[in-house]
Structures are given as structure tokens and as C-alpha cells.
Amino acid sequence: MRGLLACSLALAAPLAVAAERPAPLLVIHGGAGVVRAGLTEEDEAATRSALEAALRAGHAQLQAGKPALEAVTAAIAVLEDAPQFNAGRGAVFTHDGRNELDASIMDGASGKAGAVAGVQRVRHPILLARAVMERSRHAMLIGAGAEAFAREQGLELVDPSWFRTEKRWQQLQKALQAEASAQSRVEQPLDYFGTVGALALDAEGRLAAGTSTGGMTNKRWGRVGDSPIIGAGTWADARCAVSGTGWGEFYIRTAAAHEICARVRLAGQPLAQAAEDVINRDIPAAGGDGGAIALGADGSIAFPFNTEGMYRGWIGADGVPHVAVFAGEALPLP
């Protein structure tokens, strides 16, 4: 009798309803440290257009039911080809007048990651980072070895002149003149860094993150910043994805991208609070600056930054791109 009663109660109980998955999302940035005085109306319009193009490229992958990795890769490849950003074409110059490119990518579902640093002939470093993740036994390759691997994988190599823009060349000349005048490079970091990045949440609830950069103007000795370092400039897990942009040394020292997601995972902090605390409290307290984008598996988004501006944007299920540049500029959230 008790068994029949228990069975009846079980049948009468309402069925559990599975939580509805958030709609696919793509979030991007084109670098913090934007200075209003250094941006013409024409430059600003071209930059906003490039951000929208990147959002549409990534969104097309999500709309086609592709995984988050595809959306991240597609969006960053567009930004790497846009001369407005410090990544790929438009990368800044080293002290010796070269463009040295870094990138990384991480799949939150599997925990796999790939990165490259100091490449000079790879048109799309983000594609090479992904190839390292998917087609090698390694997590990071650098310099000539990374380019040899790119050649083996059939990735597009270009003449180094492809990456050159006059704007970046003149930034190097300015930096060299300041250096010759004994002005500290550490005193004015905002003119000399930039990065692009993308985060995606796909229809299956998977997250991915990627970051690509030309590094810091006038960098020497093979300097590598946070962008290709998993946990510093890029991180993705089952709950959270982050791509950073800023003074790389401080992002490395704080393991900024991982730290944000660790606070979400381990401390139960809301994504926006975790991102705000790390980017706008911990990094400035250590002497650095910059910004980040963060995306949660619940569809939450955060855009913390502490500079005059940060190129940023997102796109959702309706396919309408939303972009912003300066602090205080309205950017509706999903």
C-alpha cells in the first residue's frame, strides 16, 4: 500500500522544467586606452564600422549553429584585418621597427587552449593559435617555430609589410623621440597598448574566448604581454569567459582573466562585480590600467575599463550590433 501511495504521489508531482538556455551571444573589444583627442571623426566612424563587421561575422557562425570557437575566430580575424586596431594589420612597431604578433584562444567546454607569440608573417595569428590548440600537442608556440608550424598547417603567410600602417610607424617615431629625451616609457602607457578580443556563448551553452595583439609600441627584447598567456589575457571555462586589454605586465601579475572567472566559480560573485573588482580595483592598485570584456554562461556581460575609452560591442539573437567607444557612452545590454 505504501509503495502504491508513493508511486501515486510521484506521478502527481509536477515534472521538473529544464532551465532555459540564454540565446547565443558574441562580445568583442578592440582595445582600451582610446584617447578622444587622438581620434578623428573619420577614424571613429571607420572603427565603429569595423567593430560592427566583426560582430556580424561572428554572429553568422552562431546563427548557423556553429560552436562558440567559430564565432570567436571569425570575429577576431575581421579585427586582425582592420588597420584601426593594434592586431594583425595595424599592429604597433617594436623598438627595432618590426611587427611582432601574439594571440591566444580557449575553449571553455573542453579547457583546451592554444597561443602564439612573436610571429611576423602570419596574417591571422588567431587562426594559428587555434591550430596550435587543435592540431598540436602544445599550448604555446613562439617566433620562427610558430611560423614553421603555420606553414605546415597551410595557414596564410604574408610579407611583413602587410602589417605596416603609417599611423603606427609615426607612433614609434614619437616613442623613440621621447625615449631619446629621457622621458619614461612607464609614465604614459595609454598611447602604446591595444588589443582585440572576442567571447562567444553558443546555442549549446558553450563559451570560448580569444585575444590578439601587436603588443606595446617600442617594446624590446622579445617582450610578450598578457594576450597570448592563458589565464592572464584570455580565459574560458564552463561559467565564464574573459578577454583583457591593457598594460600587459599587470594582467600577467594578477592572472586577471582567470581571476575574474575564479571569483565567479569559487566565490559565487556576479560576473559584473568580479570583473569590476579585478580590472578597476586590483590592477590600478598595482599600478596598471586597461579594460576587459566578460561573458557568463547565463548570458551576463561586463565591460569594465578605467581609461578614456575602450572599443567594445556585442550582438545577440536579433543580429543587431551594438558598439561603443568612450566612457559614459550608452551601450544597452541584453
Least confident of 75-84, 114-123, 172-181: 172-181
**66-85: average pLDDT:** 98
Dihedral sign (CA 295, 135, 63, 331):
positive
Q: Which three cell numbers stand for residue 275?
A: 570583473
| 285-302: pLDDT as tens digits | 999 999 999 999 999 999
In a domain, 6, yes or no: no
Do β-strands 207-213 and 234-236 pair in parallel, antiparallel, or remain unpaired?
unpaired
Q: State which residues form the domain around 278.
A: 23-326
User: For residues 191 and 189, what is the distance between their CA atoms, to the nearest angstrom?
Assistant: 6
In a domain, 280, yes or no: yes
In a domain, 314, yes or no: yes
More confident residue, 38 or 183: 38
Predicted confidence (pLDDT) at residue 6 exceeds the cutoff of 50: no
State the CB neighbour count (10 A cutoff) for residue 187: 7
Predicted confidence (pLDDT) at residue 1 exceeds the cutoff of 70: no
Q: Which three cell numbers stand for residue 242?
A: 574573459
In a domain, 282, yes or no: yes
Q: Taking a C-beta distance cutoff of 8 angstroms, is the pair 252, 229 a contact?
A: yes
| 263-285: pLDDT as tens digits | 999 999 999 999 999 999 999 99
In a domain, 2, yes or no: no
**89-112: average pLDDT:** 97
Band (19; pLDDT cuts 50, 70, 90): low
Dihedral sign (CA 77, 53, 34, 168):
positive
Q: Which three cell numbers stand for residue 196?
A: 582585440
User: For residues 261 and 61, what is the distance between their CA atoms, to the nearest angstrom?
Assistant: 25
Predicted confidence (pLDDT) at residue 16 exceeds the cutoff of 70: no
End-to-end CA distance of the chain: 52
Nearest to 260 by CA among 223, 221, 292: 292
Predicted confidence (pLDDT) at residue 334 exceeds the cutoff of 50: yes
Nearest to 263 by CA among 286, 235, 290: 235
Band (37; pLDDT cuts 50, 70, 90): confident
| 123-160: pLDDT as tens digits | 999 999 999 999 999 999 999 999 999 999 999 999 99
CATH number at residue 248: 3.60.20.30
pTM of this structure: 0.92
Phi, psi of 26 (to 5 degrees): -130, 130
Residues placed in the known binding site for substrate? 223-226, 245-248
> 165-170 — which CB contacts under 8 Å span 24+ positions?
165/83, 165/89, 165/90, 167/83, 167/90, 168/86, 168/90, 168/91, 168/92, 168/93, 168/99, 168/214, 168/217, 169/93
Query: What pLDDT sits at residue 200?
Result: 98
In a domain, 32, yes or no: yes
Predicted confidence (pLDDT) at residue 15 exceeds the cutoff of 70: no
User: Which residues lie below 8 Å from residue 126, measured CB to CB, with a gap of 6+?
Assistant: 72, 73, 76, 77, 80, 103, 105, 210, 212
Nearest to 278 by CA among 295, 297, 253, 299: 253
Residue 232 to residues 82, 144, 147, 193, 245: CA-CA distances in angstroms?
Answer: 25, 23, 23, 15, 10
Active-site amino acid positions? 195
Least confident of 223-227, 266-270, 329-333: 329-333
In a domain, 144, yes or no: yes
Q: What percent of the chain has pLDDT over 90?
A: 84
Element containing residue 312 per DSSP (H, E): strand 309-315
In a domain, 262, yes or no: yes
| 169-188: pLDDT as tens digits | 999 999 999 888 865 544 44
Burial of 11 (0-12, 13-18, 19+ CB in 10 A): exposed
Q: Which three cell numbers stand for residue 175?
A: 616613442
User: For residues 158 and 130, what is the distance between their CA atoms, to the nearest angstrom?
Assistant: 18
User: Which residues lie below 8 Å from residue 48, measured CB to CB, with a gap of 6+?
Assistant: 323, 325
**30-47: average pLDDT:** 91
Number of domains in the chain: 1
Query: What pLDDT sits at residue 330?
Result: 87
| 182-218: pLDDT as tens digits | 655 444 444 546 899 999 999 999 999 999 999 999 9
Band (21; pLDDT cuts 50, 70, 90): confident
